[in-house]
A and B are shown apart, each in its own frame.
Chain A
């Protein structure tokens, strides 16, 4: 999954990634999904209410600007869709993972990941998700999804990922 942001400009690769996601090859940790690639409406194979449905059709992650934990305008739409889905499928407990890119020091980035997770959690709560369903964890810069030495990867690693637990998918 190297340099997905660059690949994603190529329509053939975008289609390939989307088809992989639809085929269920994409794990929860997959760096991109159809929604992130602007293909939210085209992927319909996942069972409604499944975690795959959440990841593929809603979008399980949002991205942040450098050194920021503010929820961007483009992320607000994703979180609103997440909240709507989570309010419909209440069997899930939710852990929001906060992550940072590698352009910071380890301890500070742990704290930054935690702040991003908290900002994401608070936004979901503001959209009606019950706070007792939500936990957060920070992985700092320790769990990148995209590995390269430039901004195309760093921008994908500055993320908060909403993960589901507590029910079968």
Chain B
């Protein structure tokens, strides 16, 4: 992130101990094993950051909400707090926090620098060990107060789980409004918690399936603006748009390669079937990856760029196939009964998320990359389109309830136990998670 500067925060006698914590993968006394099947959320007390205004409470609230939504933390109600933190630079009275069963404690301060920047500091305490686990400070523009809170939440998550966080991220999606028979579909972007919504297209033509570049503030998506569905690139900050390639027929289902240099997508053939192509964005050369008399679509690269997973109905109904990034070795991997589509390779490389249709239901699930180990995370009347959080622990998707009138966004973690609605003002579909911001 360009506008936030980070520093490690230490206090006096603990400085040497902190260094050890920062450099060794030391086993914290308080920790969460995210691989355990049934994680009991960790009780954590997040105190209002000291500030002269409402911002201290606001930041604490955003941090608490992030951690709570992850399903791994259970923020304790502020009304139960005994100690009132008046100086976050000194150790808290650990007994006051142990008695309310706060296993971890967050304290902090937010203030304004002479140059107008915000300075936010936080410390994470292990109350039962009576130790500071983390301490950092951040400087940022005042408009970035929510981002500071998300970065602090990520630091806490990372320190207590050993996993990268995913709160300082954004989601592009399709904002849907109007009657279902003539629905307006426009590009929008928001923070992962639903805040700071901004519209990226005006809705005069339908836009769909936006996906983030892994390397730039750029998305690729499909739009009807030329009258024919085609794939575009959009620079998020400047609004500059560009058609991807000059193909005679519909292009759709775009996604970036992991290095951000290629877009892989489907191209409609004259016979009505669709094949997968990739296009190098620098040389503008296109490569055909499939050549079947079937629908081949929804391609997604493995994070090392060596493989592509896609949907094909060459066997009669939509199923998931994996091939080399050059189109070699096309192999069906989904065999669970029903049909499978919208495969997306996990950013960790270990799993493929998918939509499965079976028995009149739509399911969001994950499988290993060879198709084994299928696990269903969510079942509903109509739901589809998983997208991975950058740490590979959570997927977001969209769901239409019977009689609900339109789709809304949801996230679910890999245990399938922690499903959360993502607040959006209107109907929303096609979420795509950004990489961690930097």
In the assembly, what is the distance between CA of A138 and CA of B230, in Å? Answer: 11
Contact with B along A93-136 (1 / 0, CB 8 A): 00000000011111110111011111100100000000000001
Given known contacts A102-B400, A104-B341, A122-B272, what 20 new A-B pairs fall within 8 Å (CB)? A1-B181, A69-B272, A103-B382, A105-B355, A105-B384, A107-B209, A107-B253, A110-B252, A111-B266, A114-B272, A115-B272, A115-B295, A118-B271, A138-B250, A142-B185, A143-B182, A144-B180, A145-B181, A149-B381, A149-B402
Residues of B within 8 A of A8 (CB): none
Establish whether residues A108 and B183, one from each chain, have CB atoms under 8 Å apart when the complex forms: no
Closest 9 CB pairs of A and B: A118-B272, A115-B272, A111-B295, A107-B253, A149-B402, A105-B341, A111-B274, A105-B384, A147-B180
Establish whether residues A143 and B266, one from each chain, have CB atoms under 8 Å apart when the complex forms: no
Residues of B within 8 A of A145 (CB): 181
In the assembly, what is the distance between CA of A102 and CA of B405, in Å? Answer: 13
- B268 touches which one: A108, A111, A143, A149 (CB < 8 A)? A111
A137 within 8 Å of B (CB atoms): yes
- Nearest chain B CB to A94 CB, angstrom units: 15
B201 within 8 Å of A (CB atoms): no
In the assembly, what is the distance between CA of A98 and CA of B252, in Å? Answer: 15
Residues of A within 8 A of B384 (CB): 105-106
A-B contact pairs, 28 of them (CB 8 A): A29-B181, A67-B317, A104-B318, A104-B357, A105-B298, A105-B318, A106-B208, A106-B209, A106-B430, A107-B297, A107-B298, A107-B341, A108-B311, A108-B342, A110-B297, A111-B273, A111-B274, A112-B295, A114-B272, A115-B273, A116-B272, A117-B272, A136-B272, A138-B250, A142-B183, A142-B208, A143-B182, A147-B180
**Which residues of A approach B to under 8 Å, CB–CB?**
1, 29, 67, 69, 102-108, 110-112, 114-119, 122, 136-138, 142-145, 147, 149
B206 within 8 Å of A (CB atoms): yes
In the assembly, what is the distance between CA of A29 and CA of B295, in Å? Answer: 27
Residues of B within 8 A of A116 (CB): 272
With contacts A105-B341, A142-B185, A149-B381 taken as known, whether A114 is within 8 angstroms of B180 at the C-beta atoms is no
- Nearest chain A CB to B346 CB, angstrom units: 19
Residues of A within 8 A of B229 (CB): 110, 137-138
In the assembly, what is the distance between CA of A108 and CA of B180, in Å? Answer: 19
Contact with A along B376-392 (1 / 0, CB 8 A): 00000110110000000
- Nearest chain A CB to B342 CB, angstrom units: 5
Residues of B within 8 A of A69 (CB): 272
- Nearest chain A CB to B256 CB, angstrom units: 16
Establish whether residues A111 and B252, one from each chain, have CB atoms under 8 Å apart when the complex forms: yes
- Nearest chain A CB to B376 CB, angstrom units: 16
Please give me the residue from chain A that is nearest to B354 by CB atom. Answer: A105
CB-CB contacts below 8 Å: B303-353 with A:
311, 313, 317-318, 341-342
Establish whether residues A114 and B341, one from each chain, have CB atoms under 8 Å apart when the complex forms: no
Residues of A within 8 A of B228 (CB): 137
Please give me the residue from chain B that is nearest to A108 by CB atom. Answer: B341
B37 within 8 Å of A (CB atoms): no
Please give me the residue from chain A that is nearest to B249 by CB atom. Answer: A114
- A143 touches which one: B181, B208, B272, B402 (CB < 8 A)? B181
Establish whether residues B250 and A114, one from each chain, have CB atoms under 8 Å apart when the complex forms: yes
B373 within 8 Å of A (CB atoms): no
Establish whether residues B268 and A142, one from each chain, have CB atoms under 8 Å apart when the complex forms: no
B403 within 8 Å of A (CB atoms): yes
In the assembly, what is the distance between CA of A115 and CA of B252, in Å? Answer: 14
With contacts A111-B274, A115-B273, A147-B180 taken as known, whether A105 is within 8 angstroms of B385 at the C-beta atoms is yes
Please give me the residue from chain A that is nearest to B318 by CB atom. Answer: A108
**Residue of B273, B295, B313, B317 ringed by the most chain A CB atoms within 10 A:** B295
In the assembly, what is the distance between CA of A3 and CA of B319, in Å? Answer: 32
Residues of B within 8 A of A117 (CB): 272
Residues of A within 8 A of B209 (CB): 106-107
- Nearest chain B CB to A11 CB, angstrom units: 26
Residues of A within 8 A of B273 (CB): 111, 115
Contact with A along B17-60 (1 / 0, CB 8 A): 00000000000000000000000000000000000000000000
Residues of A within 8 A of B357 (CB): 103-104
In the assembly, what is the distance between CA of A7 and CA of B147, in Å? Answer: 54
Please give me the residue from chain B that is nearest to A118 by CB atom. Answer: B272
Residues of B within 8 A of A103 (CB): 357, 382
**Residue of A107, A108, A112, A149 ringed by the most chain B CB atoms within 10 A:** A107
In the assembly, what is the distance between CA of A104 and CA of B357, in Å? Answer: 8
